[in-house]
Structure 1
Amino acid sequence: MLRRLLLASVALIATPAHANDVPAPANTDMPAAPAAAAPADQDHQQPTQEVVVTGARPRATADVLGGTAVLSGEDLTRELRSTIGETLARQPGVSATSFGPNASRPVLRGFTGDRARLLTDGIGTIDVSNTSADHATAINPLTADRIEILRGPTALLFSPSAIGGVVNVIDSRIPRHLPEEPVHVDAIARYGSAADERSVAGVLNVPLGDRIVAHADGSYLKTGDLRTGGYLYARDVREHAAEHAAEDNNPELLEEANVRGRLRNSAAETWDVAGGLSLITDTGSLGFAVSHYESLYGVPARFEIHHDHDHDHEGDAGHEEEGHDHSNVRLNLKQTRFDLRGEVETGGGVLDRIRLRAAAAEYRHDELESDGSIGTSFFNKGMEGRVELVQAPSGAWEGVTGAQISSRRFQVIGEEKFLPRTQSSQYGLFTLQSLDFGPLKAEAALRYERNELTAAADTDLGSPTYRRSFDSVSGSLGASYALADGLRLGLNASRSERAPAPEELFSNGPHAGTQVFEIGNPDFTTEKAWGLEATLKGSGDGWNFSTSAYYNWFSDYIFDTPTGKTQDELPVFQYLQADARYYGFEAQGSVRLGRVGGFALNADALADYVHAEVVDGGAVPRIPPLRLLGGLEAQSDRFNARVEVEHSFEQDRVATFETATPGFTLVNASLAWKPWGAASNTSLILSANNLFDVEARRHTSALKDYAPLAGRDFRATLRVQI
């Protein structure tokens, strides 16, 4: 299929400036820096409305239905972490799975997996990060130019089931513009003290004549074990260990449970490299990139207590095995990927342009035991392609219509195999239509998708051959109205339908990442959800804000819950379907307080909250609590100083198999210096995170009781662009 797409795309030639992109400065192939980088002598300097480039056309965030967030420029450089989850964790409505410092996906409004899709420039990651929290995603934030979080009708362009939203990571691996310099270089180097983190990344674009651009990029990251604040294990774990230490007369167990400092087996080494070519003319572009990504990282172990009343611990060098699992499992991840993008202006009166985007990848990761042997291997081979027909504007009306196809072959081999070999295919048709009457703007999106899944007969799991197919229809309709100049009220209604994932249908075995024995149900039907979201966004001279409130109700919601039984010494969790409810809000804003000398003073604040429950079944697990974040910035054309305080409240509304998570407060500070002024993208950022070295745990993490967040962390980030 990918070869057919490649052959079909040879005729495609598109405009030098991709319609999905913010126009870049003349001297760079990167997206334009955010407006907040304006010189200090301009009164409007403040965090201003960003531009969303994903969709039919670039739009200001105020004009996008649904809560949105954009991370780019200096903000992205400051927030960069080794995982996409931690990089986005301070955005409104976003938390992270935080399965140790190396495997962390975004959690959007309490959703993850298929309900919160991750994209690389509009195409899926083609990895297995959605099958388990310990599986890292094959996205490297170091190579990102900008990251957008989308909700509302636009999200239906990419997924029928992204209730929480869509994360689109946009990079420049397939150049969109002809750089004016003979050689364009963008490089970044970072150091973080908490994990002795060292990373470098570089992007090189070289014009070959007046139509072809050659691209190369690469990155390298190495960390030690993460230093945490406070105790390594949560209070419930320590109290449980104290009880058994007294029963077994084992003081060393108590000592082990009260350990502080480094999070053992959390070191990592990651690198990737990519190269490609783009043909760019006055009427079009066509480009490709080939990339390879590798990561070797440890998975922090849970604290386990094994009873052995007859064992004499005294003098036994191996006594720690009774209090802690020293298996030191590491994951060795490899992915090779091919990406293709093309676009052509049609010059016609009906279509403005045609876009093509495709990718194919081979993925494998091995779960290595403490002796280096392979315990379990995961294989994934997939492709995804999409074609978009962008309509020519007709008065107030414009839109985009397209088709998408993807396929995946997934297999698990080894002692912890919990899924049979599966093959899945998706075929989708979608459209997004919008009307712009100035004060009144309206949008409607519709998506049809067919999913076909096959699970091969597996004698190890005792599974027969299953074949299931699902047809789903999802839609969204909304409008916004300008109540006054710079003040817009929006309302969006949606109906989404999601086909069950293979692991929800066919699981039947021990899952090491979640430490449970999972059992799926091959007879599941599609998951349906209705949603309402209201937004109020405003901006003016020296201020802006954005708020959203949402309510989603599900029928045939898919979730897993303990059965009370054990198998293979693991608790058995069974996937079920029931009704469910999610609701919450997000709010953020900024205001200019005044000026001191050459600095503009701005204050900003953020709040978000999610409530989720299974009807007649109690709380949904791993839902983030209420969070508040406030910051104060002093900005000039060369310096930007910021201090912020983030408070996460206690989460005591928990599922039956969860423990409550105490609240915590983090204080962070940063200083950014642009030696050649705001117009330059060269900067040095010094930051200090978790200044008071507090013990912090995210309730969204399945490992929260065993793997807290980083302690005090001093970071230095140098970015150079020439």
Structure 2
Amino acid sequence: MLTNYQNHQPPKRPTNCPLSPLMMSIRLYTQAICIQNRTLPAASAKLPYLLQAATLVALGAYSTAALAEDKPSVELAPVVVTASAFEPQAGDMATATSVITQSQIMQQGKSTLGDALANEPGVNSDTFGQGATRPIIRGQTAPRVQVAQNGILVQDASQISPDHQVSVPVLGAKQIEVIKGSSALMYGGGAIGGVVNVVDDTIPSEPMNDTVSGQFGLIGQQATDGYLGYAQLNGQLNDNWQWTGRFQKTDLDDVKVPKSRYDKVKNSWYKQDNASVGFAYVDELDYVGFSYQRQDSDYGLPFHVHNHCQPDEHRINRLTCGLDEHEHGAHEHHDHEEHDHEEHEHEEHGHEAHEHGHEEHGHQEHEHEHDEHEHDEHDHDEHEHHHEHGELPYVKLKSDVYQIQTEHLVPLTGIDKLATKFSYTDYQHDEIDEGVVGTTFKNKAFGATVQATHATHQVGNLGYMKGIIGVDYANSKFSAQGLEAYLPKTRRNQLGTYIIERLTPTYSGAQINDAGRLGAQSSKTQQDNLGHNHGSSTLPTDSTATKLAKQGKDLWYVQFGGRQDIQKIEDMDNNISKSDSAHSLSLEAGRYLTPTTQISARVSHSERLPASQELYANGAHLATNTWERGNLQLDKESTDGIELSLRYDNNKNFDLSTSVFYNDTDDYIYAKTQDLVTEGESKGFRLVDYHQSDAKHYGGEIKARYYLNDYISIGGFSDIAIIELKDKQLDSKYAPRLAAPRVGGDITAQFNQFDVVLSGYHRYKQDKVADFEHTTPSYNMLDAKVTYHSAGPQDYTAFLQVSNLLNDLAYNHSSYLVEHMPLAERSFNAGITYRF
């Protein structure tokens, strides 16, 4: 359910102090497991260890201090996790859940969903240029990670390939939620990695107080010589009818990179226009809303194979093409690694074979390409906007999305609320090379969900139970035509049913938070409508239940759910189909050990059915330089998992949350990379077959903050995720493109209307690599930011940021383009948000 607009207002500053609180937070990613048995690096890599030492000092101070000083009395509006079935406030959940607020999204200034989430604990991104970046949760990405917009699953082509954009606008969203647990069952049993839900104002969510209100934001970036901006208007036609409209625009040039023989990653530009309009009718009992959203995106495909390119036989997903600057980038990567060898002696292993293979086959090419590189630089200005000249490959995308959402209170006896969601998506993107459309991808998809919230009832002496029962249906027709049509025309039908129940010892604890669209009605009206009378004149809300729990009254909860899916995928070109069913179960329990300490545990059994590309792929995939072959013999994969979480908040000067998980999977589906093909139609490509193997998946996250006083606080967070395959035919046991552990931090100082932030993190060297992968070196990332919040009648926020302050050459191991597309160089960015 969507949240109140008031949940996203700037925090109120305290009035009991002559100065606004000087709040500092340092997030230090501490990973003791990764520190053990590790040789300390040279001076240039000491940053993470200094940060770890600071964390130990801080936590030691916590253990010996009297903890007498309270936290700053900043009144933060509650942030409700709408993707969860019971919509708790984000701070009330012990389970691993992240919420990125609107102000955080704006000040990050990221153009894609994956990049906007990349700094959250447990979340990374599989960067494929600036236009296509998907989120990775605990080492898992599509199709094990689902993306939703306002609780409705997004249906584009991003599940098929990393070079396909997730067509959800990010800038200006109210919040982005990352959720795991039994509530993810609402989005399909295959969402083993988790669910990312983008909450925005595409459809108005509740009655408004003003006839017209709105906001706009604008960000400029030096590293891309570009900008991102959005504008939004909200209005009220009368007491019941609301409207909203939004426009978002992105214009980014090729990204500049540090310490390289070329100054930009060629063909990494990105342009986007997104517009939406929505209307809603809201009264005390009913809600009906609908919206239309149009997105037009153009973005370059860096290192996409041209017809005249030849794959590099000694590297997976690496190309030796006519884009000479790219090959120089690969050489610069090796030069950087050699430099690392001098400063980071502990990183010597894992590079020798890589260097040797490159030297054996690259010297003559390098000399020739150096001359061509100088020629390319000479006429770079002429061809800088390559998309206009049609020379280099790029994607031209258009998407039309229609959504309808309804809610109705008390439709039937025993039912509190009935909700429906409908969506229709008409998606198309063309991959254009040398001015000619090479491949066209289309997806026409319909989705529907009907969800009933049943009335709270007492279960003997156990407590009170409330829950939801839902049915969802999805139908999609996908086609690919042209040079890169490695997938046939497919039709997918999926029907799912689910139930999620929550048991608490008190009536209030079982209540679902209705603070969204229909929460504006009075408590008395709601109680009369529901026909409940439990000795109270008002019906408690979820936030009330949380306060009671912290006072020791609602000590525990039990939440459980189940889902059944039926799926049929047809290969319409070859008149074959595959049908199967799957079921998933989840049981979660939480308890307050003290009013300040909450623990929870979750056990789950999840089954995932194979996706279209895993079954039917057969052909060249130029973006990844592979020849993919599906497997009709694939069975569903089955995962048994356990997760333990702890949350501590003493309401004085320390809070902490942490989660650890372990999953054991039978028949894990993965793309198994074979050797280079030397003959036949797939000659010159890496052969990728979809196989199954048992696997284990484990890791964890931790986040903490220690308040030294009303002005200074320090904290920390860390994450690690590892997937090990049990396929004995593999030389390496690790799944491909696993992100390395990281450790980092940020310091925020608030003085009057100013915030000053210094943030940084260290990404460790990744030597847990899959077959045909190579070790990726470690790097440090440091940012600085100054933000000004207006204090007068004008409501605006402005910021100035310097990203990659150290100008470190950094590579994302989770990217298919890891060796060729470094992260952006030092960049001065500025932005402003104005609300009225």
TM-score by length of 1: 0.87
1:683 corresponding residue in structure 2: 797
2:606 corresponds to 1:505: no
2:285 corresponds to 1:304: no
1:516 corresponding residue in structure 2: 626
Give 1:272's match in structure 2, choosing from 267, 271, 274. 274
> What's the secondary structure of 2:783's corresponding residue?
strand
CA apart distance, 1:164: 1.4
Moved more, 48-57 or 61-70: 48-57
CA apart distance, 1:48: 9.7
Distance, in Å, in 2 between the alignment partners of 1:24 and 1:276 is 16
Q: In the alignment, residue 446 of structure 2 is paired with which amino acid?
A: M
Distance, in Å, in 2 between the alignment partners of 1:214 and 1:709 is 40
Give 1:709's match in structure 2, choosing from 823, 826, 829. 823
Q: In the alignment, residue 51 of structure 1 is paired with which amino acid?
A: V
Distance, in Å, in 1 between the alignment partners of 2:242 and 2:627 is 51
Q: Are 2:94 and 2:657, in contact at CA under 8 Å, matched by a contact in 1?
A: no
Pairing of 1:155-166 with structure 2 (within 5 A) = 155-166=184-195
CA apart distance, 1:450: 0.6
1:51 corresponding residue in structure 2: 80
Give 1:137's match in structure 2, choosing from 163, 166, 181. 166
Structure 2 CA distance for partners of 1:350 and 1:703, relative to 1, 3 Å: same
Give 1:74's match in structure 2, choosing from 103, 107, 111. 103
2:585 corresponding residue in structure 1: 475
CA apart distance, 1:305: 6.0
1:200 corresponding residue in structure 2: 229
CA apart distance, 1:472: 0.4
Moved more, 118-127 or 43-52: 43-52
1:254 corresponding residue in structure 2: none
1:390 corresponding residue in structure 2: 453
2:428 corresponding residue in structure 1: 364
2:358 corresponds to 1:295: no
Pairing of 1:207-606 with structure 2 (within 5 A) = 207-231=236-260, 259-301=261-303, 303-304=319-320, 328-346=392-410, 350-369=414-433, 371-394=434-457, 396-437=464-505, 438-457=554-573, 464-540=574-650, 541-566=652-677, 567-595=682-710, 600-606=711-717
CA apart distance, 1:263: 0.7
Q: Are 1:350 and 1:391, in contact at CA under 8 Å, matched by a contact in 2?
A: yes
1:612 corresponding residue in structure 2: 723
Q: In the alignment, residue 163 of structure 2 is paired with which amino acid?
A: D
Distance, in Å, in 2 between the alignment partners of 1:318 and 1:433 is 63
Distance, in Å, in 1 between the alignment partners of 2:665 and 2:833 is 45
> What's the secondary structure of 1:709's corresponding residue?
coil
CA apart distance, 1:65: 5.7
Distance, in Å, in 2 between the alignment partners of 1:139 and 1:439 is 39
Q: In the alignment, residue 393 of structure 2 is paired with which amino acid?
A: V
Distance, in Å, in 1 between the alignment partners of 2:579 and 2:200 is 34
CA RMSD across the alignment = 2.6
Q: In the alignment, residue 504 of structure 1 is paired with which amino acid?
A: E
Give 1:698's match in structure 2, choosing from 812, 818, 832. 812
> What's the secondary structure of 1:576's corresponding residue?
strand
Q: Are 1:115 and 1:161, in contact at CA under 8 Å, matched by a contact in 2?
A: yes
Structure 2 CA distance for partners of 1:425 and 1:644, relative to 1, 3 Å: same
Distance, in Å, in 1 between the alignment partners of 2:78 and 2:404 is 31
CA apart distance, 1:203: 1.1
Give 1:122's match in structure 2, choosing from 151, 154, 175. 151
Structure 2 CA distance for partners of 1:478 and 1:271, relative to 1, 3 Å: same
CA apart distance, 1:394: 3.1
Q: Are 1:631 and 1:642, in contact at CA under 8 Å, matched by a contact in 2?
A: yes
> What's the secondary structure of 2:745's corresponding residue?
strand
Structure 2 CA distance for partners of 1:315 and 1:348, relative to 1, 3 Å: closer
Distance, in Å, in 2 between the alignment partners of 1:153 and 1:34 is 31
> What's the secondary structure of 1:82's corresponding residue?
coil
- 1:537-588 per-residue CA deviation (whole Å, 9 max, x = no partner) reads 1112233211000001111111111222412421111110110111001001
- 1:255-300 per-residue CA deviation (whole Å, 9 max, x = no partner) reads xxxx232111011110011112111122221011111101100011
2:308 corresponding residue in structure 1: none
Moved more, 623-632 or 109-118: 623-632
1:32 corresponding residue in structure 2: 8
Q: In the alignment, residue 115 of structure 1 is paired with which amino acid?
A: R
2:91 corresponds to 1:23: no
- 1:161-192 per-residue CA deviation (whole Å, 9 max, x = no partner) reads 11211000001111012222221112111111
Identity of aligned residues (%): 27
Distance, in Å, in 2 between the alignment partners of 1:674 and 1:62 is 24
CA apart distance, 1:33: 3.7
Q: Are 2:105 and 2:171, in contact at CA under 8 Å, matched by a contact in 1?
A: no
2:113 corresponds to 1:84: yes
Q: Are 1:62 and 1:488, in contact at CA under 8 Å, matched by a contact in 2?
A: no
Give unmatched runs, 5+ long, in structure 1. 1-19, 26-30, 232-258, 458-463
Q: Are 2:597 and 2:649, in contact at CA under 8 Å, matched by a contact in 1?
A: yes
Distance, in Å, in 2 between the alignment partners of 1:311 and 1:195 is 28
Q: Which has the larger radius of gyration?
A: 2
> What's the secondary structure of 2:258's corresponding residue?
strand
Distance, in Å, in 1 between the alignment partners of 2:295 and 2:264 is 27
1:190 corresponding residue in structure 2: 219
Structure 2 CA distance for partners of 1:34 and 1:377, relative to 1, 3 Å: same
Distance, in Å, in 2 between the alignment partners of 1:714 and 1:32 is 27
Q: In the alignment, residue 304 of structure 1 is paired with which amino acid?
A: T
Distance, in Å, in 2 between the alignment partners of 1:420 and 1:348 is 45
Structure 2 CA distance for partners of 1:224 and 1:114, relative to 1, 3 Å: same
CA apart distance, 1:346: 0.9
Structure 2 CA distance for partners of 1:583 and 1:681, relative to 1, 3 Å: farther
Distance, in Å, in 2 between the alignment partners of 1:433 and 1:689 is 45
Q: Are 1:601 and 1:635, in contact at CA under 8 Å, matched by a contact in 2?
A: no
CA apart distance, 1:320: 7.9
> What's the secondary structure of 1:332's corresponding residue?
strand
Structure 2 CA distance for partners of 1:310 and 1:427, relative to 1, 3 Å: closer
Distance, in Å, in 1 between the alignment partners of 2:608 and 2:365 is 53
Distance, in Å, in 2 between the alignment partners of 1:80 and 1:341 is 30
> What's the secondary structure of 2:419's corresponding residue?
strand
- 1:514-546 per-residue CA deviation (whole Å, 9 max, x = no partner) reads 110000101211111111100011112233211
> What's the secondary structure of 1:114's corresponding residue?
coil
CA apart distance, 1:49: 7.9
TM-score by length of 2: 0.75
Give unmatched runs, 5+ long, in structure 2. 22-70, 304-317, 323-360, 377-385, 459-463, 506-553
Distance, in Å, in 2 between the alignment partners of 1:714 and 1:654 is 34
Distance, in Å, in 1 between the alignment partners of 2:633 and 2:472 is 26
CA apart distance, 1:593: 2.0
Q: Are 1:506 and 1:521, in contact at CA under 8 Å, matched by a contact in 2?
A: yes
Bigger proportion of residues as helix = 2
- 1:636-689 per-residue CA deviation (whole Å, 9 max, x = no partner) reads 562222111111100011011111111111011112211127x98631122111
> What's the secondary structure of 1:619's corresponding residue?
coil
Distance, in Å, in 2 between the alignment partners of 1:706 and 1:46 is 46
CA apart distance, 1:705: 0.4
Structure 2 CA distance for partners of 1:671 and 1:47, relative to 1, 3 Å: farther
Q: Are 1:34 and 1:73, in contact at CA under 8 Å, matched by a contact in 2?
A: no
Structure 2 CA distance for partners of 1:229 and 1:23, relative to 1, 3 Å: same
Q: Are 1:149 and 1:166, in contact at CA under 8 Å, matched by a contact in 2?
A: yes
Q: Are 1:477 and 1:492, in contact at CA under 8 Å, matched by a contact in 2?
A: yes
- 1:337-381 per-residue CA deviation (whole Å, 9 max, x = no partner) reads 101111111176622211111110111111111x21111111111
